[in-house]
Amino acid sequence: MPKLYKNIGLLFVGTGMLHTALGVLLFGNHLVAIYSAGLINGIDQHFDRGFAFWFVFAGLLMIILGYLMDWVVRKNQLRLPKSFGYLLIGVCLIGILVMPIGGFWLVLLQGIYIVIQANKKLQVTAQLID
């Protein structure tokens, strides 16, 4: 298994961390407004707050998904299903159509790489005990 593929989950975690950090930097004032409103129903009718929340929350979900991907690939020595790569590609293509300038391109590349690697046979190596 190529080294890059072994770390595909960590790459996805990194993507999620970048997304979350950008959300905090770009929309920190909206997040503070949510907190100041008391968190519970802190978004109310303020759509800018809702956008900020979902931007950061999407990053957190990508981090969680990346950890799961890492567990599958690195800890269990399995390849991610080809269908998972296709789902990432599909979601990203929709995102790119709606918002061509954005981070969907980064995840699209990861989805394509997952599909390419899913088509390769898994080579299992056994270590001989002396």
Nearest to residue 78, comparing CAs of 122, 113, 110? 122
The reported pTM is 0.84
Q: Give pLDDT, residue 17.
A: 97
Helix, strand counts (H, E) of the chain: 5, 0
Nearest to residue 7, comparing CAs of 91, 95, 69? 69
Q: Which amino acid, one-letter code, is at 79?
A: R
CB 15 within 8 A of CB 111: no
Q: Give pLDDT, residue 123.
A: 52
Q: Give pLDDT, residue 66.
A: 97
Residue ranges in the chain modelled with pLDDT below 70: 121-130
CA distances from 8 to 46, 114, 123 (A): 36, 8, 17
